[in-house]
Amino acid sequence: MQSENLLHIQRASKTYSGVPALLDVDLELRAGEVHALMGENGAGKSTLIKILAGVTPPDSAEIHVRGERVHIASPQAAFDHGLRFIHQELHAVPQLSAAENIFLGHDYPTALGVKVRWRRLYDMARETLGRLGITHIDPRTTMAHLSPGDQMLVNIAHAFVGDDFTRAGERALIYVMDEPTAALTGAESAQLFDVIGRLRARGSAVLYVSHRMDEIFQIADRVTVLRDGQLAGTRDRASVTPAEIILLMTGRELTQLFPPRMGQIGAEVVLDVQGVTTAAVNGISFTVKAGEIVGVTGLAGSGMGALLRALIGADRRAAGRVMLDGVPLKRGSPAHAWDRQVAYVPEERRSQGLVLSHSVSNNITLPQLKRLSRAGALLAHGRERATTRELSESVRLKARGPRQIVRDLSGGNQQKVVFARALARPPKLLLLGEPTRGVDIGAKLDIYRLIRQISAQGTAIVLASTDLPELIGMTDRILILRAGRLADVVPSAGETPERLLSRCYGDAAYAG
């Protein structure tokens, strides 16, 4: 039996300066479902969310909550009708404790209406976190001392204050989550998914906005896709494929996303890895030739990221050797790897690849300060601007200018900044960790073209990813890791996502 609609928005339209951002969009959220909302940048997702949040007045829209027509003219009205919003960017006060942030905007417990009862506040915060299955965060810790992932979990807890988790259905609220895992690690994302499962079980509805296909197929019940401000379609997740979703988002077949190889694989071995062992990987050996793209994949905890860190020298090797053009790379020295023309795009761009509070120019030219300085001290701003402009154009970066703060860029353009910095000198070896995670389809296309161009110049590339269609479409062969060991090597041609996933699990019956 179909669940009741908690939210139904019909014929939603919004125009800016004569240009439609949203045109006659319908969306319904059912009790007890996770409903994914997908689309490229500019597809209309943000406009739809702002209408639901009471931030942007629509030109037209009919909104029903639990079957009753409502008018959402302000954020307070959205709150009163049971809508809760969890945004990608944190809304927190760094100097305050986790407990204070959880109850920000709510009444703190007081004695005689004056003095805050701190012990009671911490107990209440601990109880709220506990109901979400979050037990490792000390409510007394200031937000500034929490990891980005834990800060996001506190932000999520703030949205649940006052909601009764014990009365299924009676307080079935509607949660809108906009790219909530952007700053989370894999373990923190798994904890969030557990929270979402609890919400589903109690009859709430979750509208989950994400670019990450793997997340959508892990947690969503249905998927709605917007394209150019219009409804491209709504599908049951169980009966749709990633290729069909990409077709809805872009109007292009999945195979059209991956540009063909531009050059040939060379005969010379650029990277020779022999028996590399760290705390997370054991006895890994493989080679990469000039112009070759070798994929690396595996399940969570397989060692993909650890392998890249071992190659760049960020994780110290206990055994084994890494040879570049026949000459060993020093252990534990990313600086030496950079000097040897090894470039690295890390998996977690926001925490490892960018200085978010600095400008585009500062981030791109960071490794080149010595070259761009006069007499080794004063920065030659003309050279800096020219270098930034040249590298920005090479990666098709879209920014207001070189002084724009990186935090304000889209995920795709943030990733392009990381690529631009990595390409400051033509690399002999390029290490890529989840290069298109959390970026829209348009940015993915740009990044895929860029990878092909770099490969055509003779650069050896190691591409670690959990995006299985990406691996099949962009690499020449794929290394499969299990529990830190190299379990299999397969040619990409003729492989399917389903068979590749079976190989990751070690299911011989399916993988054969």
Alpha-carbon torsion (99, 100, 103, 108), positive or negative = positive
pLDDT in tens, 220-240: 999 999 998 999 999 999 999
- Given a cut of 60, whether residue 170 has pLDDT beyond it is no
Cα–Cα–Cα angle for 402, 406, 410, rounded to 5 degrees: 110
User: How far from chain centre, in Å, is Cα 475?
Assistant: 21
Residue 373: band (very low, low, confident or very high) from pLDDT cuts 50, 70, 90: low
What's the token pair of residue 461? 């590339």
How far is 94 from 358, CA to CA, in rounded Å? 19
Ranges in the chain annotated CATH 3.40.50.300 = 5-256, 258-341+425-511
Which amino acid makes up residue 373?
S
pLDDT in tens, 448-504: 999 999 999 999 999 999 888 899 999 999 999 999 999 999 999 989 888 898 898
Which amino acid makes up residue 364?
I
pLDDT in tens, 289-302: 999 999 999 987 89
| Residues in Cβ contact with 354 at an 8 Å cutoff, skipping those fewer than 6 apart | 363, 406, 414, 417, 418
Contact present, 287 and 271 (Cβ < 8 Å): yes
Residue 370: band (very low, low, confident or very high) from pLDDT cuts 50, 70, 90: low
Output the pLDDT for position 1. 46
What's the token pair of residue 212? 């990450």
Residue 511: band (very low, low, confident or very high) from pLDDT cuts 50, 70, 90: very low
Question: What is the mean predicted confidence (pLDDT) over 329-358?
Answer: 88
Backbone dihedral angles phi then psi of residue 213, each to the nearest 5 degrees: -60, -40
Output the pLDDT for position 303. 92
Provide the CATH topology of domain 5-256: Rossmann fold (3.40.50)
Q: At what angle do helices 186-201 and 148-159 cross, to 10 degrees?
A: 10
3-state secondary structure 188-205: HHHHHHHHHHHHHHCCCE
Backbone dihedral angles phi then psi of residue 399, each to the nearest 5 degrees: -145, 160
Distances (CA, A) of 305 to 16, 135, 309: 43, 27, 6
Contact present, 484 and 306 (Cβ < 8 Å): yes
Is residue 440 classed as helix, strand or coil in its secondary structure?
coil
CATH number listed for the domain at residues 258-341+425-511: 3.40.50.300
